[in-house]
């Protein structure tokens, strides 16, 4: 997968639709979403609660399947993989930071980070990555603690570390700064940014926070399961400006919906 004009982007989504429930309880979580995310690109997805952000990440991670459309990650159509192959593929290529951390409660921070390497039968030198990452995340002095002995922010950082440890092609982060103070949030954004810039990883970050979205190359605005706009953070002077634009996009879409 070297450079070349015809190389597929690490994430390519076409016509993705997903509903939950049936009959009057049916919720259309995603409606005909298409997007490409390149190597070294950091995409932010912003949208109101319930707009389909987590559903989109879960579909790209192959944790759930679409009603219609395709998800191609690192050149692989996820629908073509059986359960076992999908698990192995996900372990190698996708790092996921869940909205609710999903750390293993009985394991220390250090072992939570080590787990993906062990599951992928990677030992030896790669274990050095665990210590490096713990240092970068400011968790070195917490490495022997279990998740229930950590603050929300520390758990969040441990979850980011676990997603990064295998050096995956794609990192999907669902509200990774949701429980962080602004200084820790900035540190985490810098980390995600450098993974994209310096290591060519593809990053998709779901956030409510315009200050986090400002770190991305591109911001996709999702509402009621549809992409309603795409913003370039470089066109905004401050997170407040980006936030104001986001609110205007949502209001405009609601007016259009009311008139339709």
Ligand X SMILES: Nc1ncnc2c1ncn2[C@@H]1O[C@H](COP(=O)(O)OP(=O)(O)OP(=O)(O)O)[C@@H](O)[C@H]1O
Residues that bind ligand X (CB under 6 A): 20-21, 27, 29, 47, 49-55, 99
Which two tokens mark 176?
């990774």
Q: Which is nearer to ligand X, 160 or 165 (CB)?
A: 160
At closest approach, how far in Å is the CB of 49 from Mg ion?
7
Nearer to ligand X, 29 or 150 (CB): 29
CB 124 → ligand X: shortest distance, Å? 38
**Residue, CB closest to Mg ion:** 54
Name which of Mg ion, ligand X, none residue 50 binds, using a CB cut-off of 5 to 8 Å depending on partner kind: ligand X
Q: Where are the alpha helices (DSSP H) in the chain?
A: 53-60, 83-93, 109-119, 127-136, 152-164, 182-197, 210-213, 239-259
When the beta carbons of 54 and 110 are compared against Mg ion, the nearer one is 54
Question: Residues near 12 by Cβ (< 8 Å), separated by ≥ 6?
Answer: 35, 36, 37, 70, 71, 72, 73
How many angstroms separate the CA atoms of 18 and 112, rounded?
A: 31
**Partner interacting with residue 21 (select from ligand X, Mg ion, none; CB below 5-8 Å by kind):** ligand X
Q: Minimum distance from CB of 78 to ligand X (Å)?
A: 18
> Measured from the CB atom, is 222 or 242 closer to ligand X?
222
Q: Which does 29 bind (CB under 5 to 8 A by kind): Mg ion, ligand X, none?
A: ligand X
Closest by CA to 156, choosing from 129, 132, 128, 175, is 175
Token look-up 């919720």 returns: 27
Based on its alpha-carbon atoms, the radius of gyration of the chain, rounded to whole angstroms, reads 18
Q: Which does 110 bind (CB under 5 to 8 A by kind): ligand X, Mg ion, none?
A: none
Least Cβ distance, residue 215 to ligand X (angstroms): 19
> Checking phi first, is residue 174 left (phi over 0); if not, alpha (psi -120 to 50) or beta?
beta
Structure tokens at 20: 């939950």
Nearer to Mg ion, 112 or 207 (CB): 207
Closer to Mg ion by CB, 94 or 97: give it.
97
| Residue 159 C-beta: closest distance to Mg ion, Å | 14
Using CB under 5 A, list all residues that contact Mg ion: 54, 99
What is the four-CA torsion angle of 213, 70, 201, 164, rounded to 10 degrees?
90
Q: Report the length, in residues, of the chain.
A: 260
């Amino acid at each position: 997968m070297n450079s070349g004009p015809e190389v597929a982007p690490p994430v390519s989504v076409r016509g993705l639709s997903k509903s939950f429930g049936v009959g009057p309880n049916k919720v259309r979580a995603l409606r005909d979403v298409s997007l490409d995310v390149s190597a070294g690109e950091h995409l932010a997805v912003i949208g109101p609660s319930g707009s389909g952000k987590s559903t989109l990440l879960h579909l790209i991670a192959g944790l759930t399947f679409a009603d219609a459309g395709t998800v191609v990650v690192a050149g692989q159509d996820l629908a073509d993989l059986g359960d076992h192959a999908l698990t192995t593929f996900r372990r190698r290529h996708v790092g996921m930071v869940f909205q609710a951390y999903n750390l293993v409660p009985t394991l220390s921070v250090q072992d939570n980070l080590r787990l993906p390497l062990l599951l992928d039968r990677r030992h030896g030198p790669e274990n050095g990555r665990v210590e490096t990452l713990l240092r970068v995340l400011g968790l070195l002095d917490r490495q022997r603690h279990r998740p229930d002995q950590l603050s929300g922010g520390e758990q969040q950082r441990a979850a980011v570390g676990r997603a990064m440890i295998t050096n995956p092609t794609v990192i999907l982060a669902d509200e990774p700064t949701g429980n962080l103070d602004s200084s820790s949030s900035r540190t985490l954004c810098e980390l995600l940014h450098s993974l994209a810039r310096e290591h060519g990883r593809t990053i998709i970050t779901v956030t409510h926070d315009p200050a986090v979205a400002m770190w991305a190359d591109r911001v996709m605005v999702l509402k009621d399961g549809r992409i309603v706009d795409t913003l370039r953070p470089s066109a905004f002077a401050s997170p407040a400006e980006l936030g104001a634009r986001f609110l205007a996009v949502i209001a405009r879409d609601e007016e259009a919906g009311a008139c339709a």
